[in-house]
Structure 1
Amino acid sequence: MATWQVQEAKTRFSELMEEADAQGPQIITRHGSERAVLLSITDYRALTAIQTDFKSYLLGGPKTDSFEATRDQDTGRKVRL
């Protein structure tokens, strides 16, 4: 992924868009830290196409139907009172 400083991205925005379309995501930095990513519309639609609702997300987790928890029978240490 290419990295652009915010000033450079502002002045060369058309080129930035073309690079995102041809080369993939472009990272935009401010003061040396990554702040934003410019994606092509194709990449964006691919990311947002796979959406599930919250209920499906929760129900899609690992199955625990046959989950067994065993408890340690240790009673702990003796304490003087």
Structure 2
Amino acid sequence: MPKSRIRKKTDYTPPPGARQAQAIKLTNRSWVAPVMLAMFLIGLAWIVMFYVTDTRLPIESLGNWNIVVGFGFIAAGFGVSTQWK
């Protein structure tokens, strides 16, 4: 069995400025998780409130469209989650 070659080059390490730029990019998305969870919880609370109050709340005039509004909030939460890194 032939012996493998030994690597002579050192591994590439990015300059210090690149590391700081990556850290800044990660902190810019800190709003995503709270907004995503808030959307999920608002949508869930909307649907639960609709069923628990026997279709009188949150908005009685919408009728069964309240379910669509609740799932809309949940879908918006999934849309925001695509921004999470």
TM-score by length of 2: 0.27
Structure whose residues are more often strand by fraction: 1
Q: Considering Cα pairs closer than 8 Å and 6+ residues apart, tell me whether 1 or 2 has the greater RCO.
A: 2
Q: Which protein shows a greater Rg?
A: 1
Structure whose residues are more often helix by fraction: 2
